[in-house]
Structure 1
């Protein structure tokens, strides 16, 4: 059979199929309902006879453009596990696509609670109970009311979805507040106050003993601000918002980071994007680690701005290997006895010290014991020197002090080392001395409690021109930050934002834009309990944050995010969209303070003719 005959047979076969009565009826009905132009019939007839292979593909593409845009059809909430084995929330998003329900993607979000180390069994049990109740409430919200509320909405309309989620959360927060007030009122009614017997004055006054001066009382330490209770189920809000953003990116066939960038730039894709600098945790010498040192919860390596993410990770891996060699247990190192004599008998029978390498922090780094502030920094310095790297040029340092975990309220001081206490004023001097010894430190995270307002100002005026002073503890709720703006925020140069609880994508967009306008640094940080969802990296790239804080280079849930960071950098480089980073710029706090003082005066409050104060 010739090719012409076989082609004619195929045409005839398709002709008969199209001539079938049912197909004719369906096509005519569709044309009538949708008012398809007359010219379509001419195009189809021409294609049917001359290009039969493309016929059905053309029809599929044409009618897909006439179909309705995908809309949310179903949300499913589930309980899954994070990298530490604790429960977290997952949301699956399904959409109605071309008249069929299809599961598009899922998103995960971690709990607000921190990782409790060295906590009492009662505290751990209470934390697990609260976490379980919160996730159960979130699943109930998702599978019932939120499912009904968001059904039929287009996932590409992020603003509308987040607005509805915000209104829903506000109502739930009001209900939760009323419930708590009623519970407190009931407890007050049940527990009757016990009347104390009045003590009659003895009539004698205690006088100071002669020769002894009355000790002046120290300035009282402000108590920690009461933590605002987290609304049970609030994780559903942030998780759905992220899930909707991921769904929109999938539907639009673009990576999530490009979709986030388009949202930040009013639906216009920027020509170039800069990769955030990774803050890579290399050591943990905090309160839960062995040794005396409590201050350095995380010692981080920060690459120079000109390096790629690939170069930064490779260098950090080399430094980590050198640190492992330097802290090998003595039992694995050769004997230091060089004169051939046997070791002293008093050492006989003693066990070798346990290997510090066996303690791996949940942050994905080594947790080692240190006896002084300088010891871990000197260790990193030696590791860098072994591979011909110089701190301050080839690599920089950052320290997460987590000072709020070190305050001993009975003494009113910070326990920097075991048994060594310092006041807030002494902490400022200590940081100044530390940066003089190690000028490669360019970031301090939570060097003081958020309640130490005066000391934050003193610290920023002293060190603000030398390093970034970052607040993390006071940024637990992004929505609360947006409400308060700059109220009660420490006088810092940047914030670490976390996508937890009711934080919506719109909140992150607004917060980063606000920080950009104030010349403050925005950092996206991973929570203590991390999941395998690598969306955090896409968010950081799309939002344009200066840094990203992911923890160490161990543990699968953290390595997954570093791999995603590498993949995005490679993709931007291939597409010619990779922009060079800006150099580190430390804020002139003196100049900023003068601007803030000027803004504090509201001249509209003065009556007409009144003399306004000179600023």
Structure 2
């Protein structure tokens, strides 16, 4: 069998934050080769697949992944030797069964996912396919170039809590192609740097390459976003919309409610919903991610009733790319979009299943990067091949994020695939 796995080899490499992560090489009997590395998050949901770290304080402050590497080179390599790389779903189910825990806690989701990704890439090589074509084949989709959202201003855990809200992003609303969309986003990102310099604010980069101006409130950040869009010669709400990642689970207090420390304000779930509604009213906001805590299910239902017909409401920590949590959210009427992160789920097949599940429920799907990335651009091919419709990568800075944008430009050139545009957005009044 020419697509049989002959060798799996893992190593410890560094991600964009200088922290260890897992990289796997996969070789097939025909000589085909695939390599993949996995990202790591800062703002992580409790339901995510488990990232195995060594806990040895003498090496990388306990963040080493040599245990996960050893699990690939030992147990997983032996178990999968001879398995057919073309049988992605069966292979992924086998990986989960070998681990034997709900969140891949024994072997580590970072070990399991790196194997799943590397084998998928090797299978594409064995059949002379582009990776996005292999993904499309796995899920029966017609490839589509995604609508991007790009990080412009950062706070929360991505920027040392310089601002309470984690990210403010730009989304192109008037672009006919992905290449044109990217150019518009570049104009906004450059203009934001100019605005920061004019105001005497820092232009140092946060984890995902956004600016970290340390503004006093979300409204101040939204005002700066609007100023940057206008400085770029573009129209807020027409050419460019604003997306917000609140990362509310990081603001939630054990005693209840949400602490906005930068503002020195405590807000209830209802008050946070009212705050978000005011931002939607006063600024060109088209998408809000993690507006409430991952366990504030009743609050999410209220938020969705209030704003779901006006903007896209995305669950990240809320759903954690987990089919059970997504099913609960659909049943509760919580959100209208799901952020898709392969390392939250743990396998290629499991991630594609969540995309299909969300699509069947009428939810938007946004393939997303993490704050700790590598130069591996698998997520770009995943977004196109699965026809997810949207992608959230980070800012137009640093090689780990730019690699994903560049891969999308290559795919656009190679594939001739249609560009999703704003038709992929849910809820937004422009496409309500």
- TM > 0.5 fold call: yes
Please give the alpha-carbon distance, in whole angstroms, between the structure 1 residues aligned to 2:3 and 2:303: 53
| Equivalences, count | 416
- C-alpha contact 2:99 2:107 (8 A) present in aligned 1: no
Structure-2 residue corresponding to 1:308: 177
2:304 corresponds to: 460
Counterpart of 1:155 in structure 2 is: 85
**Contact conserved, 1:71 with 1:153, CA < 8 A, in 2?**
yes
Does residue 276 of the first structure (1) align with residue 146 of the second (2)?
yes
Shift of the alpha carbon at 1:531?
Answer: 0.7
2:68 to 138, 147, 153: 138
Flag the 1:126–1:261 CA change in 2: closer, same or farther, 3 A: farther
Q: Which residue does 1:106 correspond to in 2? A: 35
Does residue 447 of the first structure (1) align with residue 294 of the second (2)? no
Mapped partners of 1:483, 1:137: distance in 2 = 29
Instruction: Say whether the 8 Å CA contact 1:81–1:88 is kept in structure 2.
Output: yes
Choose which of 94, 98, 120 in structure 2 pairs with 1:164: 94
Q: Relative to 1, partners in 2 of residues 1:417 and 1:276: Cα closer, same or farther, differing over 3 Å? A: same
SS at match of 1:432: helix
Shift of 1:109: 1.1
- Which piece of structure 1 moves more, 250-259 or 418-427? 418-427
- Kept in 1, the 8 Å contact 2:162–2:212? The answer is no
Over 3 Å counting, the alpha-carbon distance change for 1:302 and 1:487 in structure 2 is same
> 1:415-434 counterparts in 2 under 5 A?
415=260, 417-434=262-279
2:49 alignment partner in structure 1:
none
How far apart are residue 533 of structure 1 and its match? 0.7
Distance 1:406 1:124 in 2: 29
User: Pairwise mapping of residues 234-313 of structure 1 onto structure 2 (< 5 A)?
Assistant: 234-265=109-140, 272-286=142-156, 289=159, 293-295=163-165, 297-304=166-173, 306-313=175-182
TM-score (norm 1): 0.63
Contact 1:322 1:383 in 2 (8 A): yes
- What are the equivalent positions in structure 2 for 1:67-466 lying under 5 Å apart? 68-97=1-30, 102=31, 104-111=33-40, 114=43, 131-132=63-64, 135-170=65-100, 173=101, 230-265=105-140, 272-286=142-156, 289=159, 293-295=163-165, 297-304=166-173, 306-328=175-197, 355-357=201-203, 359-409=204-254, 412-415=257-260, 417-438=262-283, 440-466=284-310
8 Å contact kept, 2:167–2:244: yes
Distance in 1 between residues matched to 2:14 and 2:254, nearest whole Å = 35
- The structure with the larger Rg is 1
How far does residue 515 in structure 1 lie from its aligned partner after superposition?
A: 0.8
| Structure-2 change in CA distance of 1:91 and 1:564 (3 Å) | same
CA shift, 1:233, in A, is 2.8
Unaligned regions of 5+ residues in structure 2, if any?
45-54
CA distance in 1, matches of 2:176, 2:237: 14
Residues 124 and 368 (structure 1), Cα distance of their counterparts in 2 relative to 1, 3 Å cut: farther
Q: CA 1:318–1:497 in 2, change beyond 3 Å: closer, same or farther?
A: same
Q: 1:255 Cα shift?
A: 0.3
Specify whether residues 494 and 129 from structure 1 end up closer, same or farther in structure 2 by C-alpha distance, changes over 3 A only.
Answer: same
1:593-615 C-alpha deviation (Å, 9 max, x unpaired): xxxxxxxxxxxxxxxxxxxxxxx
CA distance in 2, matches of 1:484, 1:406: 21
Match of 1:504 in 2: 347
Task: Provide the alpha-carbon RMSD of the alignment.
Answer: 2.8
Q: CA deviation digits over 1:539-591, x for unaligned, max 9?
A: 11111112111111111111111100111112122xxx435546256459xxx
